[in-house]
């Protein structure tokens, strides 16, 4: 065995530049020590001293020898590291030296290990997924963003959250998705696949992996044949539904929500969360802010005379508040979708016959069959995603009057069916 010579420095090593070389330090000594413009070293014994810089900064250090070489170990700055803490660290260093361990080298190795652990933690699936979510979620509606986080926390994090993305294989992701697919939730399975692909695309962009192993994973799943929302599109059926809504007795928020929705055919949440400040009655225009739109861009809804009349009626009930449709229980909160859905069911319509989203399908189907109404104008009013950004800009700039004419015609059409 190689013999190790461990020798603590004599205090005379420090005496030329220090003070109080024969007595241990006290808190008073340390507090009273001031900057002198030169280096000071106040010794505490057994190699421990307080290094005082020319400007007055104080740092705990320990002088020691290991294998015949003089070395210095730093314990941290005072007062963050107290005198008592420094002495404890000196005792720990002496214990390591007694075992033949270089405390300085051990400290460096610990730092390297901590950095390695931190880097590994930054590269696990959960960390990257949360990073991606912070970056991506502001572009989503609150409901959609919450749904994505639920998928991550319920399905992905327990199964692969702690695995470094460099070690992930496609089958590990499929193992998460297959049980969902086996339950017949094909659309959800595809959503999970796309979610993993988005997270790993972010990992690729940020340099964590070279390849997105989840790209194209949906090809391993059963085809998603998502069904459209149930809707009544037969003119006679629409007339019956509108008359039933007129006759429905319930809370004003529920009644007027169901009366107005067929005429504006926005997404139900866009109308349900509407605020009075969004409506310009002089222009007969409702401007829905981008934060509430699925595509995260402001959307304008021309208001027909029929809708204006209903809004003025509604104002008698909720005009002094923030929301058009306050909750049945409290005016300070907004109506949930439970009430309008329950009303449809009370009117005798099952979920296979009519849904709140079905009013959009109703309008799209009937409008596309009307002469003189261009499909592009219908799509613009439905606020569907337009892939061509140039075309989108044109639609928003040029379709306003066409959309206003279409919405007025649609209102008259509904009145006729009623």
Strand partners, 61: 49, 74
Query: Which residue among the candidates 136, 229, 248, 394 is catalytic per the annotation?
Result: 394
| Range 268-286 burial, b when 16+ CB lie within 10 A, else e | bbbbbbbeeebbeeeebeb
Whether 294 sits among the annotated catalytic residues: the reply is yes
Whether 190 sits among the annotated catalytic residues: the reply is no
Sign of the four-CA dihedral 300, 303, 307, 309: positive
Query: Which residue among the candidates 190, 360, 366, 403 is catalytic per the annotation?
Result: 360
Query: Which residue among the candidates 147, 185, 357, 405 is catalytic per the annotation?
Result: 357
Angle among Cα 161, 167, 168 to the nearest 5 degrees reads 60
Whether 248 sits among the annotated catalytic residues: the reply is no
Whether 267 sits among the annotated catalytic residues: the reply is yes
- Closest to 130 (Cα-Cα) out of 157, 155, 111, 110: 157
Please state, in angstroms and as integers, the Cα–Cα distance from residue 144 to each residue in 129, 173, 174, 191, 330, following that order.
Answer: 16, 22, 23, 12, 25
Residue 159 and residue 195 in contact, taking contact as beta carbons nearer than 8 Å: no
Q: Cis omega before residue 79 (within 30°)?
A: yes
Please state, in angstroms and as integers, the Cα–Cα distance from residue 52 to each residue in 6, 27, 60, 201, following that order.
Answer: 26, 15, 9, 51
Query: Which residue among the candidates 150, 183, 384, 391 is catalytic per the annotation?
Result: 384
Query: Which residue among the candidates 294, 315, 331, 396 is catalytic per the annotation?
Result: 294
Whether 360 sits among the annotated catalytic residues: the reply is yes
Q: How far apart are CA 192 and CA 289, in angstroms?
A: 29
Angle among Cα 51, 56, 59 to the nearest 5 degrees reads 30
Strand partners, 63: 72
Active site residues: 267, 294, 357, 360, 384, 394
């Amino acid at each position: 065995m190689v013999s190790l010579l461990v020798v603590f420095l004599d205090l005379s090593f420090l005496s030329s530049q220090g003070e109080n070389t024969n007595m241990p330090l006290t808190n008073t000594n340390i507090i009273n020590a001031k900057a002198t413009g030169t280096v000071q070293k106040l010794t505490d014994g057994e190699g421990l001293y307080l290094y005082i810089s020319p400007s007055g900064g104080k740092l705990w250090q320990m002088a020691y020898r290991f294998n015949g070489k003089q070395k210095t170990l730093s314990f941290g700055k005072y007062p963050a590291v107290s005198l008592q803490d420094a002495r404890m660290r000196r005792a720990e260093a002496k214990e390591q030296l007694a075992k033949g361990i270089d405390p300085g080298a051990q400290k460096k190795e610990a730092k390297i290990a901590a950095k390695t652990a931190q880097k590994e933690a930054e590269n696990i699936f959960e960390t990257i997924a949360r990073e991606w979510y912070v970056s991506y979620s502001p572009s989503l509606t609150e409901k959609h963003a919450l749904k994505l986080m639920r998928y991550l926390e319920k399905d992905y994090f327990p199964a692969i959250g702690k695995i470094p993305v460099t070690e992930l294989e496609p089958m590990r992701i499929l193992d998460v998705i297959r049980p969902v697919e086996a339950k017949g939730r094909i659309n959800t399975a595809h959503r999970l696949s796309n979610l993993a692909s988005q997270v790993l695309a972010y990992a690729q962009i940020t340099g964590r992996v070279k390849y997105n192993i989840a790209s194209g994973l949906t090809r391993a799943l059963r085809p998603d044949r998502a069904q459209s929302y149930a809707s009544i599109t037969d003119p006679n059926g629409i007339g019956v539904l509108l008359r039933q809504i007129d006759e429905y007795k319930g809370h004003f928020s529920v009644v007027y929500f169901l009366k107005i929705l067929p005429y504006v055919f926005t997404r139900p949440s866009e109308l349900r969360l509407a605020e009075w400040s969004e409506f310009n009655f002089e222009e007969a225009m409702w401007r829905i802010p981008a934060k509430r739109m699925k595509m995260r861009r402001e959307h304008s809804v021309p208001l027909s005379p029929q809708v204006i009349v209903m809004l003025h009626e509604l104002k008698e009930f909720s005009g002094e508040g923030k929301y058009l449709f306050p909750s049945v229980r409290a005016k300070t909160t907004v109506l949930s979708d439970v009430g309008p859905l329950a009303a449809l069911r009370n009117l005798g319509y099952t979920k296979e016959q009519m849904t709140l989203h079905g009013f959009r399908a109703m309008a799209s189907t009937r409008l596309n069959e009307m002469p003189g109404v261009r499909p592009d104008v219908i799509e613009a009013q439905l606020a569907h995603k337009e892939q061509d950004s140039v075309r989108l800009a044109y639609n928003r700039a040029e379709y306003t009057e066409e959309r206003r004419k279409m919405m007025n015609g649609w209102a008259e059409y509904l009145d006729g069916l009623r």
